[in-house]
Structure 1
């Protein structure tokens, strides 16, 4: 278990608007240069260098060198999980005034609908997919982890997904969705599912954003494979043949 001093150090590293802005910009899994992150945070390059050094020292960022350039990315999926949780907690703590309709998650409708959460999918689409897999008996999802069933392995094979290795990182776990406040699928299994949907052109990334959009072939595949209908409300989409 982390010591109180270590927890305080991590919290202090996160406790700056510019640094949080940099980390949030990396939530789509990309690696960005110091200059790009400086522009995102709205600070001078010299100031950005100090912020990046602090985040690297805290183990929240990883740095890669390619030629003359240095690129920064989130250090691990666990960092992304913490950030997504902080976003949900912050939104819950800053509720609208009485009488105002509650709104959870990002302001942009496209981000609430479907986005990347580091290397896996999030938003209404991802919650609907997780619900579908649980309802069909493909997946068992608890508070701290999940398990793929035999029918789940067959289902993934039908999508062309080999069951990811279970070593090195959590295989399957729930991740509390910032906008839906219900779990979507993370871990190596969630990452494999996201990669495959992109490969099949079921979803495509929106340039310059964490948002992803579902393609027409994607809606057909999602209806057949997950029982998700574009016209049905997420995440309580109608699931044909659900157990």
Structure 2
């Protein structure tokens, strides 16, 4: 039986800064990251997948043992792509927009998640929403809206602890979030906020997806399992062995 493999994910916000994007690309290579979600990129190179207005992008490491990152759909503030059995949705929502726009944005994301639900869904990005549920000291209006969003989508929050993902001189916050379908969340290990230089106020967030490696695993799924996370045993590899991210 093939052993467990780890696939590395990176989450960042680089605030449209060229130097920060150059550093991110360097870190991406040094850490052997497989896929990254970049909010507020300086630019979106041709090898990246971006949304409709340049506010979020996805990039992947070129590798012979990795599936392609294939565009599924995109709109303003989101881009969805298939990576093996995973439907990755990168998101960004500006803090300067009104609450009613945020409510509409979450409705759009929920519809996107349902449309790609034949795969395991992974939603990653900067929501600019604060809530005590993911470690913030207070909850704001966007946070209250986002608290109920996983219920409507059947997704699980991946964030752990109270380490701030955005640090400013006066205060910090946790606004860089990740959600996954429960069966995929059971395969996520080592979610953490990296305390390294980024040149900006946002920190890098990293996590791994641990799967049973198999060159014979087939890409794609015909259904979307909606199992309760409380019923899953994280110490068992059975569920994760069905997750195909290697080429057939």
Alignment TM class, shorter chain as reference = under 0.3
TM-score (norm 1): 0.27
Q: Which has the higher strand share?
A: 2
Instruction: State which structure, 1 or 2, has the greater radius of gyration over its C-alpha atoms.
Output: 1
TM-score (norm 2): 0.26
Q: Relative contact order: is structure 1 or structure 2 higher (C-alpha 8 Å, sep ≥ 6)?
A: 2
